[in-house]
Amino acid sequence: MKTPIIECHRLEKWYSGVHALKNVSLTVNRGEAVGLVGDNGAGKSTLIKILSGVHEPDAGSIRIEGRDVRIRNPRQAMELGLETIYQYNSMVPTMTIARNVFIGREPLTWSLFGFGWMDKKKMDRESVQAIADVDLHLRSPEALVGELSGGQRQGVAIARAMHFKSKVLILDEPTNHLSVKETDKVIGFVRDLKKQNVTGIFISHNMQHVFQCCDRIVAMARGEIVFDRPVGETSIDEVHGYL
């Protein structure tokens, strides 16, 4: 059997007196699309923040591709191949698409101690290619992200993750505040992840969206995982019963 891409083992997290994660163990296999559902405060965000390096767990261990890891910051998470797309916080609206795609990972023509000259031609060329690869067609790479619609922004964020060959894409409420048409587009992006051999974790409180694009549903409530079953063996009503 293949090594799972993510194995969380008995994770615990406290926030000043609140027990946010209680003994959470979760295994995600390569190429799987997992829907993580639950009410506000159920612990979804805490789990995701631990996987994306924003917080560290108080107890428990994480294995990525079979190796024990400690994810201390977002940078390390990205280096491990875990890329998180937040609802609002993944793009800088006042910057161009090309600059956004490469934030923190700029190609440099030369550098000294990690600082150097950006290869703008490469950034323009590759950002256009990356966006085309997710079937998104946008104006020039010089357009500001602030001019894009919500769905297009999510598309650019996904294109960015693809471009950097992320192994796992974590999407935190990517369909919030989107129109129906744009939501369909984002759901399409998630469905296409599998073709690119990328594992997806889709967090949402909208069951319809999750059921449309995931293979497996994991539900959380009060800091614990209360439900974990393949999509084919359950229904929206059943999952609701556990929340």
- Binding site residues, other proteins, CB under 8 A: 52-54, 73-75, 77-78, 84, 86, 88-95, 99, 102-104, 106, 108, 111, 114-118, 120, 137-140, 144, 146-147
Residues pairing with 23 in the sheet: none
CB of 126 to other proteins, least distance (A): 15
CB of 19 to other proteins, least distance (A): 25
Question: In terms of CB distance, is 144 or 231 closer to other proteins?
Answer: 144
CB of 8 to other proteins, least distance (A): 20
Question: In terms of CB distance, is 86 or 202 closer to other proteins?
Answer: 86
- Give the other-Cβ count within 10 Å of 237's Cβ: 8
CB of 213 to other proteins, least distance (A): 23
Residues pairing with 18 in the sheet: 15
Q: Give 17-24's long-range contacts (Cβ < 8 A, gap of 24+).
A: 19/223, 20/46, 20/223, 21/46, 21/47, 21/50, 21/57, 21/223, 22/222, 22/223, 22/224, 23/60, 23/224, 24/60, 24/220, 24/223, 24/224, 24/225
In 3D space, the residue among 206, 224, 239, 227 whose CA is nearest the CA of residue 23 turns out to be 224
Question: In terms of CB distance, is 22 or 120 closer to other proteins?
Answer: 120
Question: In terms of CB distance, is 148 or 218 closer to other proteins?
Answer: 148
